[in-house]
Structure 1
């Protein structure tokens, strides 16, 4: 039966069957796409029958996500939610552009209606930094809050996660929980305070994940804190809250969703990532592609391809806006457990080393390369590079973009997908590569050096990217049309 006439449920079942049957024999573990004769049996993971001995290779993945409530007008329920949690003082976080708009006003109205005591922090920085994180942390600690409410985009939700974490660990040094090698990567070993997240952009999926990203100014790179304990208790996904987004914010946010889905679907499989942790507490939030994340990622990708062009074309297409918000949540569940890889790893120095680029319709008071833009501009070159491993998955993505692959060879999967991405981006008028963002060939060594420390994500690429590989990808990304 052709995939085009399968029901969504049948397609999901077939995908689960396909990814669940990945051969784990030694030959396929090293060369998953190389044909050979094998039994298809999983090799023993323990040298002996003693369960106390650690296997040499990861054998498990975990699925973690926030509870999600989706629906127009669901924001009005947040006051009841916090009252039900018996909170005594809530820290409400948002940014200066949102504080007087519908999403924040509706949330505050609900808190007032249900007699919930709160303090308002309305100076979240768009594309937060270590300094802006510290400011929010200090505010929350000063007011001795016992719960958090984030109303905003990824920057607001990530700032709330950091404020919650360090309010729960007031003795910790800031770098204790920051990802290695920049920080110590200390695991979170206690339950944090309740955090409810209400997204106002259709992009980051941060309402579902345990990740908080920020600019670390001393090194001029982006890094983050990642642990499933950071994820919100509840994400309230209300389509009414994205109605005020400017078109360019819709675009950048949607491109982030697109890359979340593609990167998580093509990430190294969870069982090939590394040895398992000594303690399950130390198993990373980003674990590699796995059968559950794959389903969410592919569904999200289908939705973005269909609805993002509509959102950009017509600011009054509320159906498309609603579907993009749902796609962002789907992708968040997928990549929040599988992880992302090179597009995101390479985006961090693009944002951190920005000279004087300011994207249209971003009124943030400082120069900015929006995260979704910084992620997308390397995507055509990245997926051409990563297609040498798991080309069938890259070909599957190309088909979703409309490529006719009837007579195509798997060896051409990267070129076909790269071409389709360029067409898709050109139609959306995405900036023409990193050159359009103010970077030249002379900047590539610094961009490469800014990418190398992003171990949390670049090591999830299906193909190991050495320094010279990253240099080549950046060079091909100077212009993409």
Structure 2
């Protein structure tokens, strides 16, 4: 057969999908040394935060690495909800300490994302703003390969162990943004559900809402063929919803329906049911990461960036109380019900399917547009998520200040099948001051 080389394609016909190899199960932490030894590394930086370090898992990891003749050092200066300042300090620490053969991140998304930044900026020249997404940064592509990075999540939420994104707050601009490139994706994801047993219920709830929004936004994102065609050199990490990402998102939503509430309300119990719920949540987080890490997220995440970046005095239970913060999982959930009302007409069948996966036994609403928002609101009420952006310290008068931060996230907004205007975002935020 002959290839029709003269055909001029204007719409996209190609999607990309990628994820790291995965090791999953109770006790998987104790196999990191063996895995890293396969890469011939001899000196490794363990990246974590002080809270996780105090619990002992990083030292246990270091002891395991020593069995395979791998030297390691623990850096526990990760900032929960990292900033450009905290990441720059982490990078500077790593640079001063000399050459590293590889990295292990153990912690939540904050630790994994900080390790991605350290890996990038110790492997190649430049500064954070060189690589941060446009229009905030220059969006340079990493010029070559990075060092091996093993990601060991201790929360079920961000899916950062699966993704090629690194998220941070830019303090001077009061906005959250990130770096997105396939080279940032960890070399291996090691998922040990036992590491989540000590999580407070508030952290489990917030992290779980991040999973939910990852899966829902990915599943309702623009279909990949609706984008303009890109040359190979310009293919981006977020390519739109596609058949492979859909499978992972559907499975993540089904696991959330099965185990989310149990993980919040019984997550610290030692019985088999609680352990199963924890394992299912870890699996859901990774699966959702395998979905949205390729297809993309949209309005709830775009809104979340200024909500977190412009926080006033809110200090959430279950988190460090030394400074105000809105946990990422909370910030993405607060406008999700209204965002999915807005996007419903662009893909009704997907919104309804998502609602049925998240809550198979939910009663049908008279208005199909309300089905998914009502499922989310009931879930958020059940697990103690704040009631809208008003619950974290904002009012309707703050909406004009929040809108510009959302509009800076064009990479995310372009993934929504119904592209929002500034007025649309203002309306979504206003209607999200209270969700019930």
| Both structures adopt the same fold (TM-score exceeding 0.5) | yes
Verify the 8 A CA contact 1:210 1:229 in the aligned structure 2.
yes
Q: Normalization by structure 2: what TM-score?
A: 0.95
Structural mapping, 1:1-400, within 5 Å: 49-50=5-6, 55-142=9-96, 143-170=98-125, 172-276=126-230, 278=231, 280-314=232-266, 315-316=268-269, 317-363=274-320, 365-400=322-357
Residue number in structure 1 paired with 2:409: 454
1:104 deviates by 1.7
Aligned 8 A contact 1:191 1:229 in 2: yes
SS in 1 for 2:346: coil
Aligned-pair CA distance for 1:188: 2.4
Distance 2:60 2:154 in 1: 12
Once the two structures are TM-superposed, the CA of residue 439 in structure 1 deviates from its matched residue by 0.2
Q: Please, which of 373, 380, 383 is the counterpart of residue 425 of structure 1? A: 380
- CA distance in 1 between counterparts of 2:234 and 2:321 reads 37
Question: In 2, Cα distance between the equivalents of 1:181 and 1:274?
Answer: 20
Q: Which moved more, 1:359-368 or 1:221-230?
A: 359-368
* Structure 1 ranges of 4+ moved more than 2 A: 48-51, 112-115, 402-405
User: What's the offset of the Cα at 1:420?
Assistant: 2.0
Q: Deviations over 1:334-382 (max 9, x none)?
A: 0111111101010000000000101001026321111000011111101
Residue 116 to residue 233, structure 1, CA distance change in 2 (3 Å): same
The alignment partner of 2:152 has SS state of strand
The alignment partner of 1:388 has SS state of helix
SS at match of 2:189: strand
| CA shift for structure 1 position 100 | 2.4
Equivalent-residue separation in structure 1 for 2:319 and 2:109 (angstroms): 14
Answer yes or no: is the 8 Å Cα contact 1:103–1:200 preserved in 2: no
Q: Evaluate the alpha carbon distance shift between residue 151 and residue 339 of structure 1 in structure 2; reply closer, same or farther with a 3 A threshold.
A: same
How far is the alpha carbon of 1:108 from its aligned partner?
1.5
Measure, in 2, the Cα distance between the counterparts of 1:74 and 1:417: 36
Contact 1:202–1:324 (Cα < 8 Å) also in 2: yes
Does residue 403 (structure 1) correspond to residue 357 (structure 2)? The answer is no
Alignment root-mean-square deviation, CA = 1.6
User: Is the Cα contact below 8 Å between 2:124 and 2:143 reproduced in 1?
Assistant: no
Cα distance change, pair 281–235 in 1 and its aligned pair in 2 (3 A): farther
Task: State the match for 1:434 in structure 2.
Answer: 389
TM superposition shift of 1:465: 0.4
Tell me which residue corresponds to 2:421. Answer: 466
Distance in 1 (CA, whole Å) between partners of 2:290 and 2:57 is 23
Gaps of 5+ in 1: 1-45
Post-superposition CA distance 1:27-52 (Å, at most 9, x none)? xxxxxxxxxxxxxxxxxxx9x8337x
Q: Does the aligned pair in 2 maintain the 1:394–1:413 contact within 8 Å? A: no
Shift of 1:275: 2.7
3-state SS of 1:387 partner = helix
Distance in 2 between residues matched to 1:365 and 1:286, nearest whole Å? 35
How far did 1:281 drift? 4.1
Aligned mates of 1:273, 1:373 — CA distance in 2: 30
Aligned partner of 1:480 in structure 2 is 435
Distance in 1 (CA, whole Å) between partners of 2:402 and 2:373 is 21
CA–CA distance in structure 2, aligned partners of residues 158 and 480 of structure 1: 30
Aligned residues: 426
Pairwise CA distance, 1:286: 1.0
Match of 1:35 in 2: none
